[in-house]
Each structure stands twice: as structure tokens, then as C-alpha cells.
């Protein structure tokens, strides 16, 4: 039995893409904040 590949509408694709981008941005910001925190702790 062959599985029919579900057609992804452009709208679904856009939502998925923006979700991936926002997740990537959140991770990047979290890493960046950690680096700044470590630098501040080093100076003290």
C-alpha cells in the first residue's frame, strides 16, 4: 500500500518556515546572552 504524499500548501510552508526561523533566532539569542554573561563574570 503506497502512502499518498500530502501536498503542502504554500501557507503551511510559510508557517513552518517562520517557525523554524524564530526557533533558530531564539537559540542564537540564548547563546549570545550566555556568552555575554560569561564575559561579565570573568571581569569581576
Cβ neighbours of residue 8 closer than 8 Å, sequence gap 6 or more:
16
- Distances 24 to 11, 14, 34 between C-alpha atoms, Å: 20, 15, 16
The DSSP symbol for 1 reads -
Q: What's the whole-model pTM score?
A: 0.57
**Tens-level pLDDT at each residue, the chain (44 residues):** 677 777 768 888 889 999 999 999 999 999 999 999 999 888 87
Amino acid at each position: 500500500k503506497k502512502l499518498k504524499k500530502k501536498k503542502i500548501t504554500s501557507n503551511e510552508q510559510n508557517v513552518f518556515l517562520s517557525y523554524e526561523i524564530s526557533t533558530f533566532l531564539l537559540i542564537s539569542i540564548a547563546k549570545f546572552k550566555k556568552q555575554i554573561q560569561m564575559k561579565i563574570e570573568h571581569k569581576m
